[in-house]
Structure 1
């Protein structure tokens, strides 16, 4: 099952959560966005009961609540840490966490603009985990059991803005810079520790090729850590970090330019494909929620 958010083009139903039909030309509505996240496990356990609509009759949007929190792990693969901030240094005992705002998220197929003061955007292929039940002071085992699903994610980064200060928020929240793929139920994915192959391609050339079993900080351990400071809620997201092969670490550096196509493919989760466009396309704004 592949779960996406949709807005009907000729209706005022608001954002709904729907299941993609296998041919990916139709969707079946499951529930409104708030109703889905009030009981995601229950909705996924039942066959979708809503109407079936042509994909051409809806606008795909991230199935994310406007007040959800999007936590991201920085430097979660040892080779990526070595090509960046922790070359020849000991890795920290806890994950480096930063936040995205939901307004920065977009979907497969969306155009992503390069900010005006950037020479390009950098790719960061990742897996994102969706929290499906409340977590407060959870153990790692409880936390990973609370994950309702996973998605392919691309943490597209404005490197100049990211490096202005020690805090990364500015460079990680450009317009439409967080494409996220359909939610795939956790039961269909299995444990990331077993290793899902993750590849990123730029104009067809593979630039990242790794496995999720190479992650330093696991999903359960990281969600557990967060839950001891703040309560996690259904619909919150954890982006699990990117492997080595990002553009800024190459010699010479390579960044995404207008016209480039970037793809992130994760085993069992599918391909996330986006086109980079010029700053003049920013007027369209982020994908609506």
Structure 2
């Protein structure tokens, strides 16, 4: 099953996606109170045993399918080749994943322009898989952590590199306005296991910039969730952004960054394609 967030009935709702049609299910907070239950209802709708009002996807305004209370935890340098092109060139790989946070206010959806902040030479792309937590996770082993994943979506961790590199803390550069677009959520049973390998491709203006595979992750999703859960309890609707493969723009010579008028696409096997246009700083007025 696939799910998206939409503006509906005065607030953010979860909806199930059937091609060009959507069926509203529940307010986002209610959906994440029982995601497995709502998936069962969505499956009933798909089989024709349920009833709900259908809407044309083109007629709705999409929003991130993430509750305001969610923690968005991102993993840096989680592909071997990307670690080598970045901070761990000619060094041993780290024993633990590099984790940093995004605020939900930075999240967006497909086809929403992301502004280049004034003072940045451009923005950088990081195509990756986002994993959604579907049940409470506390001090979990990896097997339990794997079962806690509700589904996945395409994510683009669009980064303001100048701001990121000002200090050793990455928060500022990773939370630009509209800089975290997410695609539709694909349930785990449909998406499969990332350890089996999903191809991750990023294109800029139609030119391939990244081509990696999730089997090349240094730390698996269950290992990451297990580690996080030792310190903080994860809840349904929390998001783990799993890292990007090699091919980011800042590591190239010369650097290749995103500028107003560019379009970046992230395509992930079984999860779909996420398209994000790039705009000028004036677009920040929407934030």
* Alpha-carbon shift at residue 91 of structure 1 (Å): 1.1
* Alpha-carbon shift at residue 57 of structure 1 (Å): 3.4
* Alpha-carbon shift at residue 58 of structure 1 (Å): 2.0
The SS at the match of 2:61 is strand
Q: Structure 2 stretches of 5 or more lacking a match?
A: 46-50
Task: Provide the C-alpha distance between the structure 2 equivalents of 1:69 and 1:147, rounded to a whole number of angstroms.
Answer: 15
TM normalised by structure 1 equals 0.95
Contact 1:112 1:275 survives alignment (8 Å): yes
Aligned to 1:259: 261
* Alpha-carbon shift at residue 196 of structure 1 (Å): 0.3
Farther-moved stretch of structure 1 (146-155 vs 45-54) = 45-54
Task: Provide the C-alpha distance between the structure 2 equivalents of 1:37 and 1:152, rounded to a whole number of angstroms.
Answer: 19
Task: Provide the C-alpha distance between the structure 2 equivalents of 1:279 and 1:117, rounded to a whole number of angstroms.
Answer: 10
Aligned to 1:148: 150
Q: Pick one of 9, 25, 45 that aligns with 1:30.
A: 25
Q: How does 1:54-203 map to 2 (within 5 A)?
A: 54-203=56-205
Superposed structure 1 runs of 4+ greater than 4 Å apart: none
1:43 and 2:67 are equivalent in the alignment: no
TM normalised by structure 2 equals 0.96
Q: Structure 1 stretches of 5 or more lacking a match?
A: none
- The one-character-per-residue Cα deviations of 1:34-91 (angstroms, maximum 9, x if unpaired) are 1110110111122345321122432100010001000000000011011111100111
- The one-character-per-residue Cα deviations of 1:188-216 (angstroms, maximum 9, x if unpaired) are 01110000001000000000001100000
Task: Provide the C-alpha distance between the structure 2 equivalents of 1:69 and 1:263, rounded to a whole number of angstroms.
Answer: 25
Q: How many residues align?
A: 280
1:271 and 2:266 are equivalent in the alignment: no
Task: Provide the C-alpha distance between the structure 2 equivalents of 1:282 and 1:269, rounded to a whole number of angstroms.
Answer: 29
* Alpha-carbon shift at residue 2 of structure 1 (Å): 1.7
Task: Provide the C-alpha distance between the structure 2 equivalents of 1:90 and 1:57, rounded to a whole number of angstroms.
Answer: 51
Contact 1:31 1:50 survives alignment (8 Å): no
Farther-moved stretch of structure 1 (47-56 vs 180-189) = 47-56
